[in-house]
Structure 1
């Protein structure tokens, strides 16, 4: 299969890879926050890893309620960029910051005060419950900084500037690498804080990244100029953001809630299985980064081409993205299949049963990584065209109609036991990829209207 047949398609592929490369690197660095936490907390034992593993899906659920709106702002900026309307690029950027700032405050307060009931609902008990609540409360405080940085990152991606956010992430991850053991284990007058120390280190570095992002956009030399006079409520603009962003919020929330429900299944099999799931889920979050990078790059290019009324170029981007995601992630899956056991052991040395279960989880998932890539990049096409409802429906199919029911059925009604949860992943990836690709080829996304709002 050829990746391109014409020089135009070759140029499109080059543009896609130039955009996706820095995005992939930035996402790898962001995931490094969780991997660094897992590495250091793994030295505290299975309970510490289990506490973070239980907290993470719920944290992502709350974060996703606002992050979808960030994507909505990015889509609007990309389409205005394609229209060559710089004033609306700047205005949309300011409005996205304005709206997400207040949403982040509300979600930070919500997360902090309902942390314990949430952890109890998903099955945390005893020492794991105490540590999970501590980690969750501190992480909730960081929502404000995290959201502001995500706004900065998404807006820069919308205009095709993907290098600057990567530098910002790199600097903060390096800082987090040193702060993590300092806060977890203590040093000098600083007392050891365990799992809450890992969250504290992340909050501090997230605050720094948010500040850097705001200063960069206030400078106006990198494609976006924030005007403080634009930081006021605009009902018409907010409606447009909601039209595009709410399906994205629901899509991310649906995905996060699906992961949370899977955790409730896992907790029924004990802390060893929870820790195994946590390691496998961390590896999955790392592996999916290339697909998410390609998806984000696809969203940017499709959004700009749709804004410029070049639908055929947008279609080329989608086809090329599918090919790169499928073949690239299939190779990654093969490699991870071969090194699953030593990779798991790296994070939880000496935990024999956790290593065995986590390695099996990775081996079962790995062959379907290419299919997962197809689903993600096609969602990127839908998002770039403003057809965010399609991404929501694909996620509902994958997680709620297929993965969770199948995981429950296999783990509770067959001899597979908790291994049945692992097998639900490749099956749902296969069906969702087929569904998404067929919908993409139908071409409904090509008929979506472009953004249109005044300030």
Structure 2
């Protein structure tokens, strides 16, 4: 099955087939992204439950780091997609080069800043005594290595986004497969010290992940600069230029704010959870990783809706954009209900894959993790709906609306509800699980209600001469920060 759709296929004729063909490669790419975390969790789970808890503390900081880079790489993808669609290959190459240079400088700054701030930031967590004595130092060791590897991490993000904006998804997918394979092989070697490799324990997982990302970055840049695949980037395109960097910042900041808001809310959630014993912290991190895996189909379908809505509004087909969104909601609800039933009935085989019962201190962690998964199944269909509806808002260029509902979900609902259930109502760990689920149910219903108002049905891209859709439009002629939300909204063309 092709990972691309033909011209006009999204704006004419059947919707289901093109939308599914657009969504499945995105699901695979997301799955490969999650595989990094799952590989670390799998092998660290065989080291100890405390190691799993330590990366649970580190994960929100990693997510925040990714959100900053993701916003700016998404901006590059938007601009590349616009110029590529307009036939402006030279302008697409220039924007791609400017994105590489700008994000590269940002990544170096974040690497140095993150390395020196990791220890003081984690030490500020109001942790349980045992959590502070055992988990925080392990999380600090992990994050200091991870932070220094930020340029390798961001370099790969840039490659994936630029190639996706150009319309090529197969090449990033293949390189990600190589990178994940490297990580999976190195994890046990460096964590446990197999053969000539030193026993580095949790720090070994960080080294394995960063080296795997470095391999992916090297391969990706070879594709960009050493082959004819992707944007035509020339050496002069790498010299920073004010107008192009301004466009990248204007487009990237709203997306970065939305993503970083989510990550900051997760940091606050981690602060709340860290006040509980290590078994609860580990179960929270383990549950979140498993839930993120469950929602890959919803994320992929939401990204597909982003593109379908954008193209149909651009073609002056708001009725078709609306129909596509409702169709995607039905699809994702059907899938999520089935998944929820399976998870609710069989949580044990799922959690013990990543934390065997005979692992030290595993019994308590597994009990909390089972409870978290069972309660979270209530929100599965609703969270899937929210992903699809926010994808429609982004595809329409209403990134501020998507930002507002992300703020509502995480800052406005998840944190306060979790605090209320866990502490004010004295429900303990169960209150954490209930608060997370309740927040997503309410947020999904609110987003769907707003969607039915129909105020999102106007295109924001000017296809006239000189606009983003015009031939050889200059990079500075983008439609501004409301032009889209990220590389997922790029038009998809032939991959090979």
TM-score interval for Structure 1 and Structure 2 normalised by the shorter chain: over 0.9
For 1:114, what is the secondary structure of its paired residue?
helix
- Cα distance, 1:445–1:59 mapped onto 2, change above 3 Å: same
* Match among 89, 92, 101 for residue 89 of structure 1: 92
* Match among 250, 262, 265 for residue 258 of structure 1: 265
* Cross-structure match for 2:61: 58
Task: Give 1:323-362 correspondences, 5 Å limit.
Answer: 323-350=330-357, 351-362=362-373
Q: How many residues align?
A: 450
* Cross-structure match for 2:291: 284
**Correspondence 1:409 to 2:412:** no
Deviation at 1:309, TM superposition (A): 5.5
- Cα distance, 1:297–1:221 mapped onto 2, change above 3 Å: farther
**Correspondence 1:192 to 2:192:** no
- Cα distance, 1:76–1:90 mapped onto 2, change above 3 Å: same
- Cα distance, 1:304–1:69 mapped onto 2, change above 3 Å: farther
Say if 1:387 and 1:448, in contact at 8 Å, map to a contact too.
no
* Cross-structure match for 2:474: 454
For 1:445, what is the secondary structure of its paired residue?
coil
**1:252-282 CA distance string (max 9 Å, x none):** 1110111111111111111010011111011
Say if 1:159 and 1:300, in contact at 8 Å, map to a contact too.
no
**1:93-148 CA distance string (max 9 Å, x none):** 22222221111111111111111112112335123122111100111122111112
Task: Give 1:41-52 correspondences, 5 Å limit.
Answer: 41-52=44-55
**Correspondence 1:151 to 2:151:** no
* Cross-structure match for 1:11: 14
Q: 1:300 and 1:291 mapped to 2: Cα distance?
A: 14
* Cross-structure match for 2:182: 175
For 2:197, what is the secondary structure of its paired residue?
coil
**1:369-420 CA distance string (max 9 Å, x none):** 1211121122222223332212211111001111110100110122421211
**Correspondence 1:31 to 2:34:** yes
Structure 1 stretch displaced more, 237-246 or 167-176:
237-246
Deviation at 1:341, TM superposition (A): 2.0
Deviation at 1:440, TM superposition (A): 2.8
Structure 1 stretch displaced more, 180-189 or 267-276:
180-189
- Cα distance, 1:303–1:74 mapped onto 2, change above 3 Å: farther
* Match among 385, 403, 409 for residue 374 of structure 1: 385
- Cα distance, 1:205–1:418 mapped onto 2, change above 3 Å: same
**1:171-208 CA distance string (max 9 Å, x none):** 11112111000010113332100100001000001001
Say if 1:291 and 1:373, in contact at 8 Å, map to a contact too.
yes
Deviation at 1:85, TM superposition (A): 3.5
RMSD: 2.3
- Cα distance, 1:430–1:194 mapped onto 2, change above 3 Å: same
Deviation at 1:314, TM superposition (A): 4.0
Q: 2:309 and 2:87 mapped to 1: Cα distance?
A: 15
Say if 1:75 and 1:303, in contact at 8 Å, map to a contact too.
no
* Cross-structure match for 1:3: none
Deviation at 1:307, TM superposition (A): 5.3
- Cα distance, 1:8–1:101 mapped onto 2, change above 3 Å: closer
What stretches of structure 1 move > 6 A for 4+ residues in a row?
A: 6-9
Q: 1:148 and 1:313 mapped to 2: Cα distance?
A: 37
Q: 1:444 and 1:379 mapped to 2: Cα distance?
A: 14
- Cα distance, 1:81–1:316 mapped onto 2, change above 3 Å: farther
- Cα distance, 1:352–1:10 mapped onto 2, change above 3 Å: farther
* Match among 360, 364, 374 for residue 363 of structure 1: 374
Structure 1 stretch displaced more, 55-64 or 65-74:
65-74
Deviation at 1:318, TM superposition (A): 2.9
**Correspondence 1:72 to 2:75:** yes
Structure 1 stretch displaced more, 377-386 or 392-401:
377-386
Task: Give 1:303-318 correspondences, 5 Å limit.
Answer: 303-306=310-313, 311-318=318-325
**Correspondence 1:163 to 2:170:** yes
Say if 2:302 and 2:392, in contact at 8 Å, map to a contact too.
yes
- Cα distance, 1:14–1:106 mapped onto 2, change above 3 Å: same
Q: 2:201 and 2:264 mapped to 1: Cα distance?
A: 27
**Correspondence 1:427 to 2:438:** yes
Higher helix share: 1
Task: Give 1:119-268 correspondences, 5 Å limit.
Answer: 119-122=122-125, 123=127, 125-219=132-226, 221-268=228-275
- Cα distance, 1:34–1:121 mapped onto 2, change above 3 Å: same
Deviation at 1:305, TM superposition (A): 4.7
Structure 1 stretch displaced more, 289-298 or 304-313:
304-313
**1:7-30 CA distance string (max 9 Å, x none):** 967633222211211111121122
- Cα distance, 1:198–1:33 mapped onto 2, change above 3 Å: same
For 2:14, what is the secondary structure of its paired residue?
helix
Say if 2:10 and 2:308, in contact at 8 Å, map to a contact too.
no
Say if 1:184 and 1:192, in contact at 8 Å, map to a contact too.
yes
For 2:457, what is the secondary structure of its paired residue?
helix
